[in-house]
Structure 1
Amino acid sequence: MSSDPTNDRIRVVQGDITSLAVGAIVNAANETLLGGGGVDGAIHKAAGPKLMEECRTLEGCPTGQARITGGYDLPAPHVIHAVGPRYQGGSSGEAALLRSCYLESLTLANQHGIETLAFPCISTGIFGYPKDEACAIAIDAVRIFLRAHELPREVTFCCFDEDEAKRYRAELDSGGIELA
C-alpha cells in the first residue's frame, strides 16, 4: 500500500458520474463540446438543453485542454469538459495530451474554488486509449497537482464498471510511477 499523503484526497467509486453531488464533474468531451456517446452523451442528457446552449458559446476546445460550464440539471453545479486524445499507437504525443487534460481540469477547479471534483476514465472508451496506461497517467497527474494545491480538496475517479474501479484502486494503492 502506498504511503503517499495525497491518497487521502483521492477516492475511487464505481457508478454513474452524472449522479455525483460534487463541486464539478469532468466530461470526457470531444473537441466540439456538443455531446457525443458514452460519458459525454450521458452528461449532456442529464444536464439538459441549457448545457448544450452554453457549450455552443465556447466554440469548441482543443485536445489536451478543458473548459468549464454550469451543471444545470446535474447535482454538480459545474461541468469541466476535458478533451482527451484519440489513441494512435502511443507515438503521437497522446500521453502528454492526456496528462494535460487532467491538469487543465484540476487547474480550472482550483481557479473556480471547487472543493470536490470527479473524473471519468478519459479517452479509454471510443478514443481507444489503453486502460492501464490511461489509469497510471490520470492518477500520477492528480497526485502531482494535489501536492502543490489545496483545491480541490478531494478528487474522485468515477469508474463506470467494477473492473475499471479495481484498476484505479490498484494503481492508487501501488504508489504508481512518477511520470513528471
Structure 2
Amino acid sequence: MIEVVLGDITSEAVDAIVTAANESLLGGGGVDGAIHRAAGPQLAHAGAALAPCDTGDAVATPAFDLDPPVRHVIHTVGPVWEGGGHGEADILTSCYRRSLEVADEVGARSVAFPAIATGVYGFPAARAAEIAISTIRATPTNVERVRLVAFDEETYELLTAATQG
C-alpha cells in the first residue's frame, strides 16, 4: 500500500525512515538535516562508520532518538541533476529499489520516504514523483506500507497525481 501525506517525516509512525543523504552519511540540509537533528548525534557517528555510500545505494543504521516505532534510518544517496543525460533517472530508481531491499534486510514492514533528490540536488519534482511510484510498485518487497512524505503542497500534489497515473 502506498500512501501520500504532507508533513514531517520525523514524526511518521513507521518501522524505518529513508533519508536523502550525501555520500558521507554525516547529515546535511533539508530532510537529511531534519532527520539527523531528530535522531541525535549518534546517527552521524553510525553513518560515518558505513561511509562512503555510493550514489544510488542505501544502507541502514539504528534510529537512535527518533520516536518508536521507528527502529531504522535508511540512508540513500540520490543523484545531482545535471540535465538528465547522465543516468540521473536510473540512479534515482536505484535509490528507491535499494531502500526497499535494505528495509527487507532489517525486517521493516512500514517505510516513510521523502522526495529523494528534489531539493538541493535539483531533480525535477514531477519526474521524481513518477520514478518513486513506478519503482515502489515494481520492486518485490516484504514492506506492507510505504508512506511518501511530502514537505510541501506542490510535492504532495505531484506524488498524489503519480499514484493515480
* Alignment TM-score > 0.5, same fold: yes
Match of 1:6 in 2: none
Q: Distance in 1 between matches of 2:11 and 2:115?
A: 16
Alignment map for 1:92-171 (pairs within 5 Å): 92-145=86-139, 148-149=140-141, 151-171=142-162
**Per-residue CA distance 1:47-68 (angstroms, 9 max, x = gap):** 0011111111112201000010
Q: Structure 2: how far apart are the matches of 1:72 and 1:51?
A: 7
Alignment of 1:31 onto 2:23: yes
Q: Percent identity?
A: 49
Asked whether the 8 Å contact 2:76–2:95 carries over to 1, the reply is yes
Structure of larger gyration radius: 1
Distance 1:143 1:40 in 2: 24
Question: RMSD between aligned alpha carbons?
Answer: 0.8
For 1:173 and 1:50, how far apart are their aligned partners in 2?
Answer: 39
Displacement over 4 Å in runs of 4+? none
1:78 deviates by 0.5
Question: TM-score normalized by structure 2?
Answer: 0.96
**Counterparts of 2:51 and 2:95 in 1: how far apart (Å)?**
17
Report SS of the residue matched to 2:161: helix
User: Are 2:23 and 2:51, in contact at CA under 8 Å, matched by a contact in 1?
Assistant: no
Q: Secondary structure at the match of 1:171?
A: helix
Deviation at 1:14, TM superposition (A): 0.3
Which structure 2 residue ranges, 5 or more long, are not aligned?
Answer: none
**Could you list the runs of 5+ residues in structure 1 that have no partner in the other structure?**
1-8, 175-180
Q: TM-score, normalised by structure 1?
A: 0.89
- Say how many residue pairs are matched: 163
Q: 1:72 corresponds to which letter in structure 2? A: F
